[in-house]
Structure 1
């Protein structure tokens, strides 16, 4: 098991040697079709094969660990093992990036209007009976007249969980990822000013929209599910703006939900 020798520095660029090692290891992972759970060569082998110092190798492995690509253990049988980066790491990276960008509520809902209808269409023929039962339970938890909490934020969480479960059932990893990211960013940043002031229209819309979606899901009607979700997203945005929703950008960096 060998890695390519340390790559030459590109002309006109000053790149840290450890960054070159990171790039070389990534190229080796791709070229040799390594999988999650496979081990990188031991530290001594990396030093010899790459022709770099121990400190450079350790710095490179630390960088890969920060990126979530490897886990590093110590001891006689220690070393670096390939690991798929976690969703949580992706969420934190995207949230940190967005903290410095001009993102607002309209932007978030414009994205939801683009991806959520496709998510609904994707899962319409894939949801199992167990999935449908869980979704029905979440519909109840999102409305106070059907067993939902008196606390509006708890009902909103049930609404978002409904959409999370659709993402879980999606067979498109990228579509599912975008939808989950949007749901969690909404959790982290959106505060609805008048949520507790008898704002019943949101509850009624969620109940109506989700019930209609369930009918489409049970009928395996992807086109109908897409259209209903498009209407649901448009209404959800309008109601959020009517209730004077605002963004608490601090949640993008702290990871805390508004009010925590």
Structure 2
């Protein structure tokens, strides 16, 4: 008697109905077909629209809630609202994944060395006057600040701006994620020490920012990349003064 055609074949994982519904709604959210804060239709209407049962719909919404793509408010006046993807959420997932993989702050620093100097070289000599002015405005804003946390925030944003100016969305998101990974340890470092370093060491790092803009404007790609690599090394050295950067990333660093 012949064996069934499927005998010996690897089992194929068939997506559950709830996963398919979640994928459909996820696509609508990501593509902007459902906007931030939009209230989903009542449960019965949404069941009809999607052609699914109540348990399937609820499970699909729980999947999206776990992904921070919807917010579910229960009760008489409750409902489900759209919550667009956030970099902070992705950063938390990335931090957990890197922690599991045994990554360190030194690893994060190396990633920045591979990303940011290359971005600087790419934009050198290509920016218009408005983009250069925006970079200089960011530096001036940081120089006016006396609050350590605000100086750090503006400085971190400047790093992302440099990558953002390449026009590559994937690299920009990666730069934002890397900045988020450094945020907590850098914040602790600055709270403890930055007040004592303004205007000396902190101002020196801001001078590095001004210099890289000069080199970018002049179109000196190689020198700009080298300068920015040295700047990143200086920032990392500051962090190493108070944090063991060779240990595995910790959520509570």
Shorter-normalised TM range: 0.5 to 0.7
* 151-160 vs 181-190, greater mean Cα deviation: 151-160
Q: TM-score normalised to the size of structure 2?
A: 0.67
Q: More relative contact order in 1 or in 2 (CA 8 Å, sep 6+)?
A: 2
Distance in structure 1 (CA, Å) of the matches to 2:104 and 2:95: 13
Change (3 A) 1:105 1:70: closer
Q: TM-score normalised to the size of structure 1?
A: 0.66
Distance in structure 2 (CA, Å) of the matches to 1:26 and 1:126: 42
Change (3 A) 1:69 1:214: same
SS at match of 1:156: helix
Instruction: Give how far 1:156 is off.
Output: 2.5
CA deviation digits over 1:198-246, x for unaligned, max 9?
47663254133212211122124433332221121122222332x3245
Change (3 A) 1:28 1:116: same
Distance in structure 2 (CA, Å) of the matches to 1:137 and 1:180: 20
CA deviation digits over 1:149-184, x for unaligned, max 9?
1x4443322321211322443311121111111112
Distance in structure 1 (CA, Å) of the matches to 2:158 and 2:183: 13
Change (3 A) 1:102 1:220: same
Match of 1:5 in 2: none
Distance in structure 2 (CA, Å) of the matches to 1:122 and 1:113: 14
SS at match of 1:195: helix
Distance in structure 2 (CA, Å) of the matches to 1:244 and 1:188: 13
Match of 1:181 in 2: 177
Counterpart mapping for 1:1-260 below 5 A = 11=11, 20-25=16-21, 35-37=31-33, 42-48=46-52, 53-68=53-68, 85-98=85-98, 100=100, 102-125=102-125, 127-143=127-143, 147-149=144-146, 151-190=147-186, 191-192=188-189, 193-198=192-197, 202-241=201-240, 243-245=241-243, 252=251
Instruction: Give how far 1:71 is off.
Output: 7.5
Mapped contact 1:113–1:233 kept (Cα < 8 A): yes
Change (3 A) 1:85 1:122: farther
Instruction: Give how far 1:133 is off.
Output: 2.2
Change (3 A) 1:81 1:20: farther
Match of 1:3 in 2: none
Q: Which runs of 5+ in 2 are unaligned?
A: 1-9, 35-39
Instruction: Give how far 1:72 is off.
Output: 8.0
- Report how many residues are paired: 228
Change (3 A) 1:72 1:176: same
Mapped contact 2:121–2:222 kept (Cα < 8 A): yes
Match of 1:6 in 2: none
Distance in structure 2 (CA, Å) of the matches to 1:220 and 1:83: 41
Instruction: Give how far 1:28 is off.
Output: 5.9
Mapped contact 1:122–1:171 kept (Cα < 8 A): no
Q: Which runs of 5+ in 1 are unaligned?
A: 1-9
